[in-house]
Amino acid sequence: MHPSAVVETVHIGDDTEIGAYCVVGPSVVLGDGVILHPHVVVLGAVEIGAGSELFPGAVVGKPPAQHVVLSRPTVRGAGPVRLGAGCSVGAHAVIYEDTVIGAESLVGDHASIRERVRIGERCVIGRFVSVHPDCAIGDGTRVLDHSHVASNSVLGMDCFLGVHVITTSDNALGHLPYNAARVRGPNIGDGASIGSGAVLLPGITIGAGATVGAGAVVTGDVDAGTAVAGNPARVHPAPNGSD
């Protein structure tokens, strides 16, 4: 433990390293072999699994902002953060309260994971990815750099989202008051692949094993196993020219 670190918890596992200028709150539990690089901040009720590594400037357990300009109501202290064993959290990534991330998952540099998000095991959340509240991401799913996962999105197991994929949650474009029943991101089935730069409109379903081409704008549901491309996205013809 570096002498400049502020550590209030007594729940520290064996062989854990806490770097310079870290701040660790009283309700934090650090498993065996956890590494906190310099300037990591861990707040509130947080449990970090054995062998996890948090790189410089990461913040875990951040409470959501409460401000008059926000349309969505926020509640602080709604639930703990749990990081499974063997996780990696990149430099300056921010993980909010009430978030669960499964074992051996990786959160990239500058990623933002909001409250009430559930992420499975062996997932990749890339650099500068934003995951908004109330999302569920299944085991083995990869969301690559600069993508956005909108509120109330559901991503199944073993999905792939390329870079700069945008999911959306509000067809009213902010003109209506927030309503959780209306503001919903897409539902993406197991094993679906979304090409780089694709845009998925609110509330649509991408079936299991479907493929969305790069740059596509998906305005409606996509059947399981189907490939779509274009703006608006349409079923991609088979190689022999038939549908």
Residue-wise pLDDT for 103-143, tens only, equals: 999 999 999 999 999 999 999 999 999 999 999 999 999 99
Asked whether residue 139 is assigned to any structural domain, the reply reads no
Same-domain pairing of 107 and 2: yes
Residues 90, 18, single domain; the answer is yes
Same domain flag for 198 and 117: no
Residue 146 resides in a domain: no
| Radius of gyration for the chain, computed over Cα atoms and rounded to the nearest angstrom | 19
Which residue type occupies 191? G
Residues 105 and 215 in one domain: no
pLDDT attached to residue 242 = 43
Residue 18 and residue 126 share a domain = yes
Q: Can you list the residues of the chain whose pLDDT is less than 70?
A: 73, 77, 238-243
pLDDT attached to residue 224: 97
Give me the domain span that covers residue 217.
Answer: 151-172+183-243
Work out how many domains the chain is built from and give that number.
Answer: 2
Quote the pTM value. 0.93
Tell me if 145 is assigned to some domain. Answer: no
The answer to whether residue 144 sits within a structural domain is no
pLDDT computed for residue 178 by the predictor = 84
The span from the CA of 94 to the CA of 110, in Å, is: 7
Is 196 in the same domain as 84? no
